[in-house]
Structure 1
Amino acid sequence: MNPTGSPLRTLVDKWLAPNACVPARVVRFSRTQEHRLRFVCVEAVHPARTIAIFFFRHGDGSWCVFPPAAARPAMTARAA
């Protein structure tokens, strides 16, 4: 795991600001079908609105609000 990466709890605190009156809860977690990427949906129900954010697990063990970049085909060339 990347020690400089963002733990899920830190991101939930940053984006949803849960507290005793407005707790955050995991409402969905799974893996994407295509690339088997782990994701979590966390929700906070505020008096005026409900906020839900998806977090994606990256290869280095950190979590982000955007999915990791897909692996793309690459070409290499060698001198003859």
Structure 2
Amino acid sequence: MQTAKISLRGLIDKWLGANLAAPARITRVRSSRACRSGCIRVDVARPSGQLSMFFFRHADGCWCVFPPALRVGWGA
């Protein structure tokens, strides 16, 4: 899948808004097969409740909201 090169900050701004009313809490996630290349969780307090989103780093260096495909036969 071809994705546009957007920085992680740009992707967070795209999905959560550049002017967050409350600061976002960013946590690096480890221990998941889908997160081997890199994965972060962003938590934001909203009036409707807590919102958490995951952002995944793909092999080409792009950050996306969907995990990279697992490579069968490569130790996955």
TM-score (norm 2): 0.72
Deviations 1:50-73 (A, max 9, x none): 111000001111100011112245
What is the aligned length? 69
- Identity percentage of aligned residues: 42
More helix by share: 2
Task: State which structure, 1 or 2, has the greater radius of gyration over its C-alpha atoms.
Answer: 1
TM-score (norm 1): 0.69
| Structure 2: runs of 5+ lacking an equivalent | none
TM-superposed CA distance for 1:8, in Å, is 0.7
**Residues 23 and 33 of structure 1, relative CA distance in 2, 3 Å threshold:** closer
Preserved contact between residue 31 and residue 37 of structure 1 (Cα < 8 Å) = no
Measure, in 1, the Cα distance between the counterparts of 2:21 and 2:40.
22
Preserved contact between residue 32 and residue 38 of structure 1 (Cα < 8 Å) = no
Preserved contact between residue 37 and residue 59 of structure 2 (Cα < 8 Å) = no
